Amino acid sequence: MTSSLSNAARLVRTLFVLARYDVLAPKELTAEVPKGLKSLSAFLRLLSWRAGRGAALEARLAEALPKLGPSYIKIGQLLAARPDLVGPELAGALSVLQDKLPPFEMAEAEAALEAAFGKPMSALFERLDAPFAAASVAQVHRGWLKDTEDAEEAGARPVAVKILRPGIRRIFQRDIDTFFWGATWLERLVPSARRLEPLKLVGVLAQSMRMELDLRLEGAAASELLENTRGDGDLIVPQVIWPRTAERVLTTEWIEGIPLTDNPALDAAGIDRRELSLIVIRSFLTQALRDGYFHADMHQGNLFAVPPSADGAPLKLAVVDFGIMGRLSRESRVYLGDILMGFILQDYLRVARAHFDAGYVSADFPVEDFAQALRAIGEPVFGQLARDISMAKLLMQLFQTTETFNMHLQPQLVLLQKTMMVVEGVARALDRDHDMWDAARPVVERFIEEMMGPEAMVENVARGAQTLGRIVARAPESLERLERAGELLAQMTEEGGLRLHPDTAREMAEMQRPSNSPGRWALVVALAALAAVVWQVVF
């Protein structure tokens, strides 16, 4: 009961803060906000000073989210990938959020390093500079390793030292519990929310946070990405310095490059920004399609350009910060490659069949009808340049189509969808004439050839034979378990019949109760409220 009351209190306080900054029922989206929500927002704003008067929605969001803490920033970033849920306008506002917070003190950073390695600072680093980047989870320093046991690996070279914020694990665990609690009630009370699978979305957030809160896992992610892309001549992944990496500390080699946030510096260095935009897109798609493992936070702040060198080395893209990574199964990659190729070739029946084959669209609908709906999306934008396409309208039409065909959005593709939007935004900022389809075509064609050509077919047959062999090998054990289950079922029936646990019966009854959907904005508010962080609210 105490936990439920605490979670409810967090949600109420979150609604209060959202109303205070006029993002609970923003004036920009008046037509889409239910009357009840408008009244609630107006009432809550009367209880406090109304901040951000006259500011744009993006500015009000940017001001409100830090008041709710780092967890709320993360849930906002996740919602930015769901224009079907929040609408294209709000998704665009959320997509520009900067995950930045004030840095913590150097004394705390040094204490964390000494606790992590059981050595004084003087034995760990020659020097540790003040942090040059601080986000909701950690901050990064430039340091120099002592020329001792690390000399062979790093010597006197500079390194990047990432240190978790003090107490961040406790904060996120509390908030994740609140998210799950809120998502559970949302699925119970709002039937239309079940298609959006909020519990699974929170699961995606929780998994990404587990990765971010153990920097050894982030180091392993960087190591895996480096291994996968070692032969790619246009991507640089920094090497992990394992002797100086622990649960709360990650040390990697220092990458010297020009941040993609600084176009004038890129121009001054003579870098071809069109070529760089192609590298960004193709590197991401290669990771996702070829390897099934991709950097899922490829915004400009995590990307650097390394100019061509005098010895003939080509232009390269360097990537840092491996706290959020995505992984796709072989089946998901085949599905993704097939629909991308279908759109590139304007073969909408192929795209539709890929959805049906993957089970994403119910077989109750004619595949030709779904193909026709996809054609209505693809044809108006095919061959156009990025500057001529409203991606917000395009995404909104796509998600409206999935709702029409009762298509469940796949949780394993959430990070991919988000990263695709971010990566295309980066490419567009580099080259206003960037064409996503033209950039993607060679990568997708190569993937289709490798995954669906003759060699791949032989490999698939071999994989199927191995799977069949494992099934046969486990057959005796499975039959034994089935026999025991049958005996138990018979015993239960003889003892008075099968009974449902009372909680289960209540859940089933609850699921059968009719309920009216309050509309898209009610879902937005309910999901946004999951991220309440009471103690960080400043009145």
pLDDT, one tens digit per residue, over 89-102 is 666 666 666 666 78
Q: Is residue 507 part of a domain?
A: no
CATH code assigned at 147:
3.30.200.20
CB 58 within 8 A of CB 374: no
Q: Which residues are CB-neighbours of 226 under 8 A, at least 6 positions away?
A: 237, 238, 239
Tell which of 452, 486, 509 closes a domain: 452
pLDDT value of residue 115: 95
Q: Is the pTM of this model over 0.85?
A: no
d(CA 420, CA 422): 5
CB 77 within 8 A of CB 414: no
Q: Are residues 304 and 368 in the same domain?
A: yes
pLDDT value of residue 48: 56
Q: Which tokens in the block code for residue 169? A: 């694990």
Residue 146's domain spans which residues? 102-134+137-166+214-254
Active-site residue (options: 99, 297, 321, 338): 297
Q: Is residue 160 part of a domain?
A: yes
Express each pLDDT in 428-476 by its tens digit.
Answer: 889 988 877 788 888 888 888 887 665 555 555 554 555 445 445 555 5
Strands 316-319 and 235-236, sheet pairing: parallel
pLDDT value of residue 411: 56
Q: Are residues 109 and 72 in the same domain?
A: no
Q: Are residues 365 and 273 in the same domain?
A: yes
d(CA 392, CA 31): 18
Q: Is residue 481 part of a domain?
A: no
Instruction: Please tell me the total count of domains within the chain.
Output: 3
Q: Is residue 115 part of a domain?
A: yes
Q: Are residues 248 and 389 in the same domain?
A: no
Q: Are residues 130 and 228 in the same domain?
A: yes
Mean pLDDT rounded to a whole number for the chain: 75
Q: Which tokens in the block code for residue 82? A: 């769901």
Tell which of 254, 281, 316 closes a domain: 254
Q: Are residues 245 and 272 in the same domain?
A: no
DSSP 8-state class, residue 291: I
Q: What is the CA radius of gyration of the chain?
A: 26
Q: Are residues 302 and 393 in the same domain?
A: yes
Q: Are residues 426 and 522 in the same domain?
A: no
Q: Is residue 351 part of a domain?
A: yes
Q: Is residue 141 part of a domain?
A: yes
Best CA proximity match to 389, nearest among 435, 429, 431: 435
In the chain, which residues have pLDDT < 50? 84, 149-154, 392, 463, 467-468, 470-471, 478, 481-482, 485, 488-489, 492-493, 495-539
Tell which of 452, 477, 506 closes a domain: 452
Q: Is residue 473 part of a domain?
A: no
d(CA 506, CA 511): 9
d(CA 421, CA 466): 38
Q: Which tokens in the block code for residue 395? A: 């995404």
d(CA 290, CA 284): 10
Q: Which residues are CB-neighbours of 152 under 8 A, at least 6 positions away?
A: none
Q: Are residues 442 and 368 in the same domain?
A: yes
Q: Is residue 397 part of a domain?
A: yes
pLDDT value of residue 294: 94
Q: Are residues 319 and 429 in the same domain?
A: yes
Q: Are residues 188 and 153 in the same domain?
A: no
pLDDT value of residue 512: 40
Annotation marks residue 347 as catalytic? no
Q: Are residues 240 and 381 in the same domain?
A: no
